Amino acid sequence: MIYNDDELLQLDYIDKLRKLIYEKEQKLGRKLTCQVTTFGCQMNARDSEKILGILKSVGFEEKIDEADDADFVIYNTCTVRDNANQRVYGRLGALKSHKKKNKEMKIALCGCMMQEPSVIEKIKKSYPFVDLVFGTHNIFSFPELLLRTYVENKQVIEIWDSTDKVVERLPVARKYKFKSGVNIMFGCNNFCTYCIVPYVRGRERSRRHEEIIEEIKRLADDGVKEVMLLGQNVNSYGNNLDNEVSFPELLKMVEEVEGIERIRFMTSHPKDLSDELIEVMANSKKICKHIHLPLQSGSTEVLRRMNRRYTKEQYLALVEKIRKAMPDISITTDIIVGFPGETYEDVLETIDVIKKAKYDNAFTFIYSKRTDTPAASMPDQVPLEDVKKHFDMVLSTVQEMAKERTARFENRVVRVLCEEINEQDDSYLDGRMSSNTVVHFKGDSSMIGSFVNVKLTKCHGFYYDGDVVD
């Protein structure tokens, strides 16, 4: 592998850390343990794999349980809605008492929440026992920051506003051997008025397709069969690079990689979804027949104030076009209830779209006011009482429609990737269909990571029971 200067620098810190951790081990007569806890989206999950990869490569052993009492505990945080922040503060309180018992313990915080100045102020003031804090732009320098935490023995806080560094070849510890997320772009330029992501993740930056394909080939060599291409708006992939390929072209290149059998992607912004993408998906054997197409609201007026840049009619026309090309496709969505100024009539428009679009699943969120976003200072914030009522209306429609839609597969035989042992009954496995629907069926751990054909016997709304038929 050819490394650039920034990568070589971090690899050097990894070497130094390895010695330091080894000396600690010798002194303590035991291995040091670590825990990485992830809040938020798939991008954060992927970042956590990078953090764990570095911790493991310098000698930490991963502690897999709920108790937050490892020698190194790190929270990779999310701030998209306020409840994600509250969960972090809640758990930090408990960490303090663990630290009192274990003198070796170090506590770190990173991720989107740390890009907010008010959060940093609060940590400095109220959580002095946190040892290391960094943000989304300098996660690549985690080896350097980790070393400083051990050497300096005082609170290390380093937050950047942006970055142009490309550091892609550091160790990664994947959660699943057989599937992996792959970042194709970072940041977001869309500035939906409710959303904090553009502020905490910075401007949109695409990775070069050569780098992406190289990474996917390496993953395939390492046993990965399914990749999920990650970006806040994958449909605008390549826009900030000269001579870059488009997203559908990138998909075709990924399709060529030997060993990769399934391709997924997240997230598609409806305003940028091209006919070319629909065509490439329809003709592909590897791209899963699933598209996550966030609606947010069915009211054209609310969509305008959200700065989503499509109307109700345009969204529905897009769904129709997708379904015409791929009648069986599963479409899922995100919906926000309680955006400032949203009326009962607006909610009825959303419900109308849910009925017409026939989603396989929809994630419904209560609007959360995020500091410094345009929506935070909009008039007519909706009273909580109304929001709750509207939320229940939307949720029950989603559940009813999804149950009806998902049932179309009943009695069919489908290809399923075996993913993990079922949590309730260890003689069962959980697997996923191309549509991303979960299936429960009899099986054992030797099957994990392989494809099987499953007859779908019973639909439970969002998931199926089935029997392996080969």
* Residues that bind ligand SAH in the complex, under the rule CB under 6 A: 80-81, 194-195, 197, 232-233, 267, 269, 294, 296, 334, 336, 365, 367-368, 370
* C-alpha dist (Å) from residue 295 to 77, 93, 302, 336, 449: 25, 37, 11, 9, 33
By CB under 6 A, name the one of 105, 132, 145, 195 that touches ligand SF4.
195
439 binds ligand SF4 (CB under 6 A): no
Interacting residues with ligand F3S between 20 and 59 (CB under 6 A): 40-41, 43-44
Contacts of 219 (CB under 8 A, 6+ apart): 180, 182, 227, 260
Chain centre distance of CA 441: 26
Instruction: Please tell me whether residue 328 adopts helix, strand or coil conformation.
Output: coil
**CA 335, CA 189: separation in Å to the nearest integer?**
20
Q: Pick from ligand F3S, ligand SAH, ligand SF4, none: which does 143 bind, CB < 5 to 8 A by kind?
A: none
322 binds ligand F3S (CB under 6 A): no
To ligand F3S, the closest distance from the beta carbon of 334 in angstroms equals 11
Q: Pick from ligand SF4, ligand SAH, ligand F3S, none: which does 365 bind, CB < 5 to 8 A by kind?
A: ligand SAH
Q: Let me know the angle formed at the C-alpha of 147 by 92 and 202, rounded to the nearest 5 degrees.
A: 65
Stretch that binds ligand F3S, among 94-102, 196-204, 260-268, 381-389 (CB under 6 A): 196-204
| Closest residue by Cα to residue 369 from 393, 387, 353, 351 | 387
> By rule CB under 6 A, what count of residues binds ligand F3S?
11
To ligand SAH, the closest distance from the beta carbon of 218 in angstroms equals 27
Stretch 99-128: interaction string toward ligand F3S, x if CB under 6 A: -------------x----------------
To ligand SF4, the closest distance from the beta carbon of 115 in angstroms equals 14
Stretch that binds ligand SF4, among 25-33, 111-119, 187-195, 404-412 (CB under 6 A): 187-195
188 binds ligand SF4 (CB under 6 A): yes
> Environment class of residue 424 by beta-carbon count within 10 Å: exposed (0-12), middle (13-18) or buried (19+)?
exposed
Cβ closest to ligand SF4, residue 74 vs residue 195:
195
Cβ closest to ligand F3S, residue 40 vs residue 449:
40
78 binds ligand F3S (CB under 6 A): yes
By CB under 6 A, name the one of 50, 137, 169, 201 that touches ligand F3S.
201
Is-contact 419 432, C-beta < 8 A?
Answer: yes
**CA 262, CA 436: separation in Å to the nearest integer?**
11
Give the Cβ contact number of residue 161 at 10 Å: 8
**CA 119, CA 179: separation in Å to the nearest integer?**
34
By CB under 6 A, name the one of 269, 290, 292, 370 that touches ligand SF4.
269
Q: What is the secondary structure of 131-189 as a DSSP string?
A: -EEE-STTGGGHHHHHHHHHHH-S-EEE--S--------S----S-SSEEEEESEES--
- Under the rule (CB under 6 A), what is the footprint of ligand SF4? 188, 190-192, 195, 197-198, 232-233, 269
